[in-house]
Structure 1
Amino acid sequence: MKPFNIDERSLPPLFDVGAVWTILWQRWLTVLASTLAVLLLALAYLVVAKPSYTATASVMIDPRDPRATNLNNVLPGIGSDSAAIASQVFVIESRDLLMKVFESENIENDPEFASGGLLSRIGLASHPTKDSIFRSFQRAVTVERAGLTYVIDVSFASRYSDKAARIANAIVNRYRAGLSGERETANSDVNSLLASRIGNLQKNVSDAEQEVGDFKVSHQILDASAGGTLQSQIDKLTDQLISARSEADQAKDKYAQAVAAGTSPAGLAKLSEILSSEATVKLRENYNQRAADLANYEAMYQPRHPIIKRLRSELDRMQGLMTIEAQRITRELKAKSDLAAQNVTALQAKLDDLRQKLESSNAAQVQLRQLEAKTKAARTVLDDFLKRAEETSQMQGLQLQEARVISAAAPPVQPTWPKPLLLLPVSAALGLIIGCGLALVRGPKHQPEQDPTSPIRGSLLGVEPPRHAVKETVKPEPVNLGEYRLPGLAGSGAYLSIRAMRRRFFQAGNEAFSRDVLQLMRRIILHLTEHPKPYVLLVSSLHTPVAARLAGAMVGIGLQQAEQNVLVVEFGDQPGPGASARNGNGVFVSGASGLRTVVYNRPVAENGKPPGGLGLDDILATAGSFDFVLLMGPSIVGSWDPALFAEADLMLFALSPAEEAGEITSLLRQRLDADQTGRSATLTIAPEQTETQGGEVVRAIRSADDGEQGSRISARG
Structure 2
Amino acid sequence: MKPFSMDERTLPPLFDVGAAWTILWQRRMTVLACTCAVFLATVAYLAVAKPSYTATASVMIDPRDLHATNLNNVLPGIGSDSAAIASQVFVIESRDLLMKVFESENIESDPEFSGGGLLSRVGLAAHPTRDSIFKSFQRGVTVERAGLTYVIDVNFVSRYPDKAARIANAIVDRYKAGLSGERETANSDVNSLLATKIDALQKNVGDAEQEVGDFKVTHQILDASAGGTLQSQIDKLTDQLITARSDADQAKDKYAQAMAAGTSPAGLAKLSEILSSEATVKLRENYNQRAADLANYEAMYQPRHPMIKRLRSELDRMQDLMAVEAQRITRELKAKSDLAGQNVSALQAKLDNLRQKLEGSDAAQVQLRQLEAKAKAARTVLDDFLKRAEETSQMQGLQLQEARVISAAAPPVQPTWPKPLLLLPVSAVLGLIIGCGLALVRGPKNRPEEDPTTPLRRSLLDVEPRKDTLTEIAKPEPVPVSLGEYRLPGVAGAGAYLSIRAMRRRFFQTGNEAFSRDVLQLIRRIILHLTEHPKPYVLLISPLHTPLAARLAGAMVGIGLQQAEQNVLVVEFDGQPGLEAPARNGNGVFVSGASGLRTIVYNRPAPENGESVTRPGLDDILADAGTFDFVLLMGPSIVDSNWDPALFAEADLMLFALSPTEETAEVANMLRQRLDADQIGRSATLAITPEHVETGRSQVVRPIRSSGDGEQSDRMSARG
TM range (shorter): 0.3 to 0.5
Give the greater-gyration-radius structure (CA). 2
* TM-score for both structures, normalised by structure 2: 0.42
* TM-score for both structures, normalised by structure 1: 0.42
